[in-house]
Amino acid sequence: MVQATPQIHLLRRGSASSAWLKRFFSTLASVASYVSFVGATFAQTPTQPAQRLFVREPDLETHFVSSEHPRWEGAQLLGYSGRLSNSPHIYSISRTGKLEKTTLKLSDAARINIVDIAGSLAGEVAVVGSAYTNDERSTTFLARMSADLSKQTVTRLWPFCAVAVAFSPDGTLWAVGHLKDEANTRILSKHVLRRFDTSGRLVSSAVLQVRGDEIEANSFLRSSSDRVGWLTRDGQYIKFGLDGREMGRYEGPPGVAGIEFLQWMKISFALTSDGEAVLGRTNAKTAEMFVLQRQTKLWNQISLPSEAVASWSRIIGADGVTIVTNGGNNRLLRFRTK
């Protein structure tokens, strides 16, 4: 693999860039003195109890202004801003509110387009995207950053275009995307899954047989303690072992398969540390949540009380077995099932 030479500019307190970033996001971690309980009723199945408790955990509240959805992975909130600039900002916020931030700089890049971000249990961060020079030359890349964002390894991916990325528990990076010709005139293969080691070296590559002709944008690649899962644009959930072999396929909840692009933007997905797949769906009036029962291959819908529906705008990730949501007004709400 061809390695690009990154230029890392750490933002220091008191600098003009740091002051500007403060207008983008600030953090506040607060621990509530109580835990409230919300009843969640599941559809009755032969192998699933009719009712489970949905437990509201102590709040982690984060206020930020960003055009991109944040993502919770491991023990941190991840995000980026300044997309399509020559120096997008990458940030991570821990459970305790500790903020780490940096800018991503690539040699000769006039515009950098980040398309996905992921985090590891050890606190590392990865982003995938594309970069363009002033004379419109372009490439695609994978950047892997240390937990404090002070070091990074950048790997040139072209002609592979990664649109979703995830850390496997064994430290490898997984990416889903499509393969173009060198002249960038056509797509040669869609639904390509590639795995990279800690140095950015390609470990494996496979073309997956996936239903639907859409490219992989806005699909979800996530990991748990023992697997990696991909929710495709056509609504199939595919789980993989850590060696890259497919372990099973599951149809999504009714109404998810084959939906339009703008509708898909309202879908969210997470994989908990114990491998439970959780899918969220929102519109202007309602929010729904489904949990996959692997034994029956059925998605059980959680019926939320009316006072909680407005708070469920989007699932942004999993903290262990806890589901983290963006509950409106950029407030993170954390829930787990019992």
Per-residue model confidence (pLDDT) at position 205: 97
Nearest Cα to 270, choosing from 302, 235, 317? 317
Burial 103-142 (b: 16+ CB within 10 A, else e): bbbbeebebbbbbbbbbbbebbbbbbbbbbeeeeeebbbb
Distance separating alpha carbons of residues 34 and 305, to the nearest angstrom: 20
- Local confidence band at 312 (pLDDT 50, 70, 90 cut-offs): low
130: Cα separation from own chain's centroid? 17
Tokens of 200: 């950015």
Over pLDDT 70: what percentage of the chain? 71
Per-residue model confidence (pLDDT) at position 314: 80
Decide if 17 contacts 11 (C-beta within 8 A): yes
Of the listed ranges 12-26, 103-117, 150-164, 292-306, the least confidently predicted one is 12-26
Distance separating alpha carbons of residues 318 and 220, to the nearest angstrom: 13
- Local confidence band at 259 (pLDDT 50, 70, 90 cut-offs): low
Decide if 280 contacts 269 (C-beta within 8 A): yes
Residue 25 has pLDDT above 70, yes or no: no
Per-residue model confidence (pLDDT) at position 247: 94
Per-residue model confidence (pLDDT) at position 220: 94
Give the pLDDT mean for 81-95. 87
Residue 193 has pLDDT above 50, yes or no: yes
Per-residue model confidence (pLDDT) at position 170: 92
Per-residue model confidence (pLDDT) at position 31: 25
Of the listed ranges 7-11, 50-54, 167-171, the least confidently predicted one is 7-11
Per-residue model confidence (pLDDT) at position 169: 92
Q: How many CB atoms lie within 10 A of CB 88?
A: 21
Tokens of 179: 């393969």
Q: Express each pLDDT in 199-237 by its tens digit.
A: 999 999 999 999 877 778 889 999 999 999 999 988 899
- Local confidence band at 262 (pLDDT 50, 70, 90 cut-offs): low
